[in-house]
Amino acid sequence: MATQPASRWQVRDDFSYHPRHHWCREQADGVLMGVTDYTQERAGDILYVSLPVPGETVRAGEPMGSIESGKWVGQLYAPVSGVVVAVNERVAADPRLLNRDPYEAGWIAVIRPDAAGSLDALWDADRYRAALEEMAEDL
Amino acid sequence: MTPWRLLDPGPLPAWRQMALDSVVIRARADNRVPDTLRFMEFEPHTALVGYHQAVDLEINRQICDELGVEINRRITGGGAIYMDARQLGWEMCLGQDNAALPRDPDAVYRTLSRVVVETLAAFGIAARFRPVNDVEVAGRKISGTGGVEWGDALIYQGTLLVDFDVETMLRVLRLAIEKLTDKEVLSFQQRIVTMAELLGAAPAMTVVKAEVVRAVQKVLEVTVYPESLTTEEEADWLRVQDSFRQPDWIDRRVARLAGYDVKTAQVKAPGGLLRAQAAVDADAGRIRKVFLTGDFFVYPERAPLDLEASLKDCPLEAAAVHERVAAHYAEGYRYLGVSVDDWFRVIVQAAGLDGKGESDGHHQSGPRDRSH
């Protein structure tokens, strides 16, 4: 029996999701990405954020930065392979933006993908909701 | 029972220890090695910042240079620590699918801290978990911990104060207590405790290690066997270790501030005098540490130390301070003639929040990556 309803975590219908709880969305200059509501809620009060550097090459599923809360360092994972073209300096200055607004003001980076269709391998919102449901059973 | 390997490489300089952490967690994440218990001893003595901290905010470089204390950066989170041959570092590097681990991160800390509690119990020491992730004896910290995840693996690591050179620690770490009186320095020293103090003499490190192994086996229901690094890990370690003694690693986060802003305040409550000292990181909008003393009655006596722990890294906002003090009182501590509002007043004064209202929540940056 689920002790934590998955519906407590907001999931945006129009975003794609990486299994490590990152969201992304295509825009003109690349793939905008950030962490999901699940990530910020499970982390709690986020104290530090370390961002990748613009121009850095990242690989899908590999760490590209980090966050810290409660003496625990978690990784930020690249949802797609490519080159980082922009990072959100506001979250470095105020990491609580990730707690307050993970899907908008708390965006992490824009990645220019290596190849077209790089979001095809990611989950849609329904698939991500289903994954959260499965996890909620264990919490 | 699930087999774990034990790595006990003996005393090493910090840069080699930190490099080994990075090698072992990657090997575990790739499923190339089993779950691992590892001991860490430091030679020469060293000051370690947490992964996201800036050295210059936490450590006195000049004193380290004079005393031959190496400086390095952990891959795990948490605060700066001083390590010499009298403390035992321990860590568990586990797959995130480990059946013994709860899925809730808070519960992971609580579960794994039972290993330290069980170890100390073997010496007749009654310890307990203190949130977020310390182990304490009658309110005095004896083990601090931190962690990191990497892909499908995690490291949960900590220290065990077998014995401790408090004087050197106070000189090496910038603990924001320069302005304290001798009495208050003594009070600060009372916030930590060692096995040597509790037992009358420090137990042999080999005995402590054996008890940690026994505790891991009992608490987590695994079998631990001595092992060496794999050939691949040895090669990786040799390849990466030099990078862990370079400024790119040690100073990968830099401070925009010369230091934390340290303020002191005192308030007369009906039950006695309250004093608070706060180290404020205005750049990041956080109260990094508070130090609470005074003349008042409370049961249990460790209550102010628990309040200090709950205020660590509190947002620099009056409402956040009030919320944490109120939550502390809700735990059932019994102060005589000292109310939530009394502690609230002295802490917000020390933090410079009185009369200024709440912070707007928008600040300049805290410690930053060097390349930014």
Q: Using one digit for the tens of pLDDT, what is the confidence trace for B114-134?
A: 999 999 999 999 999 988 778
- Tell me, yes or no, if A73 comes closer than 8 A to chain B by beta carbon: yes
Number of inter-chain CB pairs under 8 A, A vs B: 85
- Tell me, yes or no, if B151 comes closer than 8 A to chain A by beta carbon: yes
Q: Which fold has domain A13-131?
A: OB fold (Dihydrolipoamide Acetyltransferase, E2P) (2.40.50)
Task: Note whether A73 contacts B364, CB cutoff 8 Å.
Answer: no
Measured distance CA(B251)–CA(B341) in Å, rounded: 41
- Tell me, yes or no, if A139 comes closer than 8 A to chain B by beta carbon: yes
Measured distance CA(A58)–CA(A81) in Å, rounded: 5
Measured distance CA(B358)–CA(B372) in Å, rounded: 29
Domain B2-250 has CATH 3.40.720.10: no
pLDDT category at A130 given cuts 50, 70, 90 is very high
Q: Mind listing the pLDDT tens digit for each residue in B146-155?
A: 899 999 999 9
pLDDT at A1: 41
Task: Note whether A94 contacts B75, CB cutoff 8 Å.
Answer: no
Mutate to test the interface with B, among A66, A73, A88, A139 (most CBs of B within 10 A): A73
What is the pLDDT of chain B when averaged over all its residues?
89
Q: Is the pLDDT of residue B366 over 60?
A: no
> Closest Cα to residue B202, out of B141, B142, B112, B139?
B142
Please tell me whether the peptide bond between B300 and the residue prior to it is cis, using omega within 30 degrees of 0.
yes
Mind telling me how many Å the CA of A20 is from chain B's nearest CA?
9
pLDDT at B15: 98
List the 13-42 stretch of A: residues with Cβ below 8 A of B.
42
Task: Note whether A138 contacts B103, CB cutoff 8 Å.
Answer: yes
Q: Is the pLDDT of residue B362 over 90?
A: no
Residue A123: DSSP 8-state: B
Average of per-residue pLDDT across B262-285: 90
Mind telling me how many Å the CA of B189 is from chain A's nearest CA?
22
For residue B100, what are the contacts with CB-CB under 8 A and spacing of at least 6?
A: B2, B111, B220, B221, B222
Task: Note whether A68 contacts B149, CB cutoff 8 Å.
Answer: no
- Tell me, yes or no, if A81 comes closer than 8 A to chain B by beta carbon: no
Task: Note whether A75 contacts B103, CB cutoff 8 Å.
Answer: no
Task: Note whether A72 contacts B147, CB cutoff 8 Å.
Answer: yes
With CA atoms as reference, the chain A residue closest to B74 would be A73
- In chain B the first and final C-alpha atoms are separated, in Å, by 48
With CA atoms as reference, the chain A residue closest to B369 would be A50
B277, B263 contact by CB (below 8 A): yes
Domain-by-domain residue ranges, chain B? 2-250, 261-350
Task: Note whether B151 contacts A75, CB cutoff 8 Å.
Answer: yes
For helices B14-29 and B231-240, give the axis angle rounded to 10 degrees: 130
Residue among B146, B151, B372 minimizing CB distance to A71: B146
Task: Note whether A71 contacts B76, CB cutoff 8 Å.
Answer: yes
Average of per-residue pLDDT across B302-327: 93
What's the CA angle centered on B90, arms B52 and B244, to 5 degrees?
45
Q: What is the CA radius of gyration of chain A?
A: 14
pLDDT at B222: 93
- Tell me, yes or no, if B368 comes closer than 8 A to chain A by beta carbon: yes
Q: From 3.30.565.10, 3.30.365.10, 1.20.1440.80, 3.30.390.50, which CATH number describes the B261-350 domain? A: 3.30.390.50
- What is the value of pTM for the model shown? 0.88
A71, A103 contact by CB (below 8 A): no
Domain-by-domain residue ranges, chain A? 13-131
For residue B318, what are the contacts with CB-CB under 8 A and spacing of at least 6?
A: B344, B348, B353, B357, B358
